[in-house]
Structure 1
Amino acid sequence: MMVSFTRKLALAVALAAGIGIAAPASAQDFTFGWNPRSGDVWVDTWLGDMNRYGSRYRDPFVDELVRYHGAPRDLVVELLDSRRWAPGDVYFACTLASVIGRPCRYVVDIWERDHGRGWGEVAKDLGIKPGSPEFHRLKRGFVPSYDRWGRTIEIDADLERDFPGRGRGADRRPHDASPANGNGRSNAQDRGRGQGRGNSGDQGNGNRGKGKDKKRGGR
């Protein structure tokens, strides 16, 4: 019996390998072989960084698109989970849609059909040429997204006029920012809120209690 079971198990394992049953997809195993080709090297670089951030910090990434770019939450979740889109592609599709005043789903459908041409060509078809004022507006929007995540982003020469003092060699973090926590807020924001409560909230009550103890000790 034991020999028979062992042989069956070995056969099942071999069969699974033969038909290509694979381990769960990794964060980089996206539906489309990932190559954004936006027409701007800086944009391509930071879309790649968003792949890493969105895969690791899913909730703040989704919240950013829903709250600030008008993307439906169910669509963003579907793209990341069921359709296995790269986070950078989800971000670009929804921000591009917001710039042209169309629903994110409209750009999503176009990208799924024409992704082989790259984002630069798709954007041109939608009236936004790389280097145009509209493309610059889309590109500029990366920076406040990173600021809200509390994540470092380097500013290229094209954006230095929009963000003076944050070019190469400058402090590229937003003021007092640190890596975002799992709730989508930066740790600096959490520290600020905690300090505010300490002046007049629960921590203040605790200080009053300590004051009473000191008075008793002095009697």
Structure 2
Amino acid sequence: MTGRRLLVLLMLLWPGVLLAEQTAQMSAAYQPDTGRKDIDAGLVDINYYVERHPDAFVDALHHQSGVARPQLQQWLQQPGRQAADLYLACQLAVIVEQPCQQLLQARDAAGDEGWQAALQAQQIRLDNRQWRALRQAIVRSYQVWARPLPQRLRGG
């Protein structure tokens, strides 16, 4: 294969390689700490899904949140970025009417303290209606992905 052909091939494959940054090791260590076990279970499982299907993840999140695909891809490519944190930030942004990037930055700043600390820092307290809306958004994503819901998300 000539150098030019190899370069073209690498350029074509590069975006897919960049999107596949959610690793099994990252997924296994993930603790969202939203304060809701059902939501946490969904988020943990979303990371495992993204390991294998990053494009479907970005597409569904784009449709549900309205955030442009290139922006989602850029955020997903950031070192150490948990896909589920991106997912939650963008879904919450719709619910609380704040920019996804602002919520994502708050989550990054919270570090190991998780989503409860991030939301508290933003002075966001979700009521039951908002938690329900978030849960429904997660369920819709699972339907789009034709993925079985984690046990904690089934029913009620």
**Could you say whether these structures have the same fold, taking a TM-score greater than 0.5 normalized by the shorter chain as the test?**
yes
Taking structure 1 as reference, are residues 99 and 26 closer, same or farther at Cα in structure 2, changes over 3 Å only? closer
1:86 aligns with 2:82: yes
Among the aligned pairs, what percent are the same residue? 24
Match in the other structure for 1:65: 61
Task: Work out which structure has the larger RCO, using CA pairs closer than 8 Å and 6 or more positions apart in sequence.
Answer: 2
Q: What is the deviation of 1:29?
A: 4.5
Residue matched to 2:115: 119
- The Cα of 1:26 is off from its aligned counterpart by 6.8
Larger helix percent: 2
Query: 1:53 maps to which residue?
Result: 49
Q: 2:140 and 2:104 mapped to 1: Cα distance?
A: 23
Supply the distance in 2 between the matched residues of 1:98 and 1:118 (Cα, whole angstroms): 20
TM-score when scaled to structure 1?
Answer: 0.54
SS of structure 2 residue aligned to 1:80:
helix
Root-mean-square deviation over aligned CA pairs: 2.6
Show the counterpart of 1:152.
148
Unaligned runs of 5+ in 1: 1-24, 161-219
- Partner in structure 2 of residue 102 of structure 1: 98
Structure 1 segment 124-203 matched on structure 2, within 5 A: 124=120, 125-129=122-126, 132-154=128-150, 156=152, 160=156
Q: 8 Å contact 1:66–1:73 — kept in the other structure?
A: yes
Deviations 1:96-144 (A, max 9, x none): 1111112211111111112332112323444233x63212211221111
The number of residues matched between the two structures is 134
Which runs of structure 1 show a deviation greater than 4 angstroms over 4 or more consecutive aligned residues?
154-159
Q: Structure 2: give runs of 5+ residues left out of the alignment.
A: 1-20
CA distance in structure 1 between the aligned counterparts of 2:47 and 2:153, rounded to whole angstroms:
23
The DSSP-based 3-state class of the residue aligned with 2:104 is helix
Q: Which has the larger radius of gyration?
A: 1
Render the CA deviation track for 1:152-195: whole Å, top value 9, x for unaligned.
Answer: 115658952xxxxxxxxxxxxxxxxxxxxxxxxxxxxxxxxxxx
Distance 1:91 1:56 in 2: 16
Q: 1:39-64 deviations in whole A, cap 9, x for unaligned? A: 01111111111001111101110001
**Which residue pairs with 1:37 in the alignment?**
33
One-letter amino acid matched to 1:92: L
